[in-house]
Amino acid sequence: MATIHELSKICGVSVSTVSKALNGYADISAKTRNLIIKAANELGYLPNSGARSPRLKKSYTIGILFRTMTNLGLKNDYFAYILEAFRREAAESGYDITFIQDSIGTRKMTYLEHCLYRHFDGVCIVCADFEKEDVIELVNSDLPVVTIDYAFQKAYSIISDNYSGMKRLTNYILRQGHTKVGFISGGNSLVTRNRIDGFLDTMREHKIKVPKEYMRSSNYRNAFMAEEQAMKLLQLPDYPTCIIAPDDMAAMGVVSAIRKCGLQLVKDVSIAGYDCIDAQQYVGVRLTTIKQEREKIGVEAARKLIQMIEHGKDIPCDTVFIKQSLVIGNSIRKIS
């Protein structure tokens, strides 16, 4: 099969024009459309039935781009909750969801090519390398696109407000009297950068200097890496009295490090998590953490995407921030 880029070269038109022709948009002349569809049929780019009139009927199928930077996949409960809420909401409106791949069998293709091949009515980008060329091409295409936790001008974006959530958590820790706060971040992403900014901005607002050795880097939901970084914090001559873990699962590693250092959890070193999963059985205390509205994110993403599919340009692209809430446990000691 030919690629969309090869079709554009063969037909002497832009990739965008090929995309519009294959999707049945009216601003393409009949001559150009017929040329592109004829070439697509001859080169086997799309099944004949789809190439003849790909947008005359909706497929009632939504493409889901979900490519995590780790091997957790759907074991990541944050995304699993979002996807399940999205699926249920889409199903109520008669839509199915299908995951977007970068290949069909042994045939490599871009995300946009896969979407056109499968005739998706719209796309939700749940998790991806948002700066990757394939992702940007998909967002800039004529397909309706909703993104989660990353903002684009040409997509409707729904963002869990990690910046404000981290500020809320940090302010609570400071109100308990802690000024020596260690911070273990997750992987390199916009979510991580927003959380780091929320933490550091709050500390600056309270005129508290954060030593550079108090800032450690790990991965999300990786208890082993979090334990390693927590050990480095606790081996400092003036170690933190409270440590913020990347998330509640990673907090298990921080707890393990505290105990391996012969320290008492909470009494000697307090701990905070993030994401609000039921981690009490793992860490032995009720974590003070931040709850992300995962179900609300999934439902909102599905509703907005379906509105864009069914009403087109009447739905303007926008960015919506979903607030997070503080859940207070007993993992942070109050210092007099």
Residue 48, domain CATH:
1.10.260.40
Q: How far apart are CA 286 and CA 267, in angstroms?
A: 14
Split into its structural domains, the chain has a count of 2
Asked whether residue 241 is domain-assigned, the answer is yes
Can you give the CATH number for the domain in which 253 is found? Answer: 3.40.50.2300
Query: pLDDT tens, 242-277?
Result: 999 999 999 999 999 999 999 999 999 999 999 887
Mean pLDDT computed over every residue of the chain = 88
Domain, as residue range, for 40 = 1-57
Stronger pLDDT, 235 or 80, i.e. the higher one: 235
Contact 198, 190 (CB under 8 A): no
Of 30, 36, 6, nearest to 18 (Cα)? 36
Residue 18 pLDDT > 80, yes or no? yes
298 in a structural domain: no
Q: Which residue has the higher pLDDT, 216 or 41?
A: 216
Would you state the pLDDT for residue 123? Answer: 96
- Residue 43, in any domain of the structure: yes
Q: Bigger pLDDT: 167 or 104?
A: 167
227 lies in a domain?
yes
Query: Which two tokens mark 53?
Result: 């009139």
pLDDT tens string 30-86: 788 878 878 877 776 654 334 434 444 688 999 999 986 656 666 678 888 999 999
Give domain status of residue 66, yes or no.
Answer: no
Write down the residue that tokens 């409270």 correspond to.
Answer: 242
State how far Cα 6 lies from the chain centre.
Answer: 31
CB-based contacts of 62, cutoff 8 Å, min separation 6? 90, 95, 96, 97, 98, 120, 121, 122, 123, 124, 302, 305, 309
Contact at 8 Å (CB) between 204 and 53? no
Residue 325 is assigned to a structural domain of this protein: no
Burial 252-285 (b: 16+ CB within 10 A, else e): bbbbbbbeeeeeebbeebbbbbbbbbebeebbeb
Characterize the bridge pairing of strands 289-291 and 325-327: antiparallel
Global pTM reads 0.79
Tell me how far apart the alpha carbons of residues 120 and 109 are, in angstroms, rounded to a whole number. 15
Inter-helix orientation angle 190-205/162-175, to 10°: 40
Residue 154 domain flag? no
Q: Is 110 among the domain residues?
A: no
- Comparing 121-135, 231-245, 267-281, which segment has the lowest mean pLDDT? 267-281
Model confidence band, residue 313 (pLDDT cutoffs 50, 70, 90): low
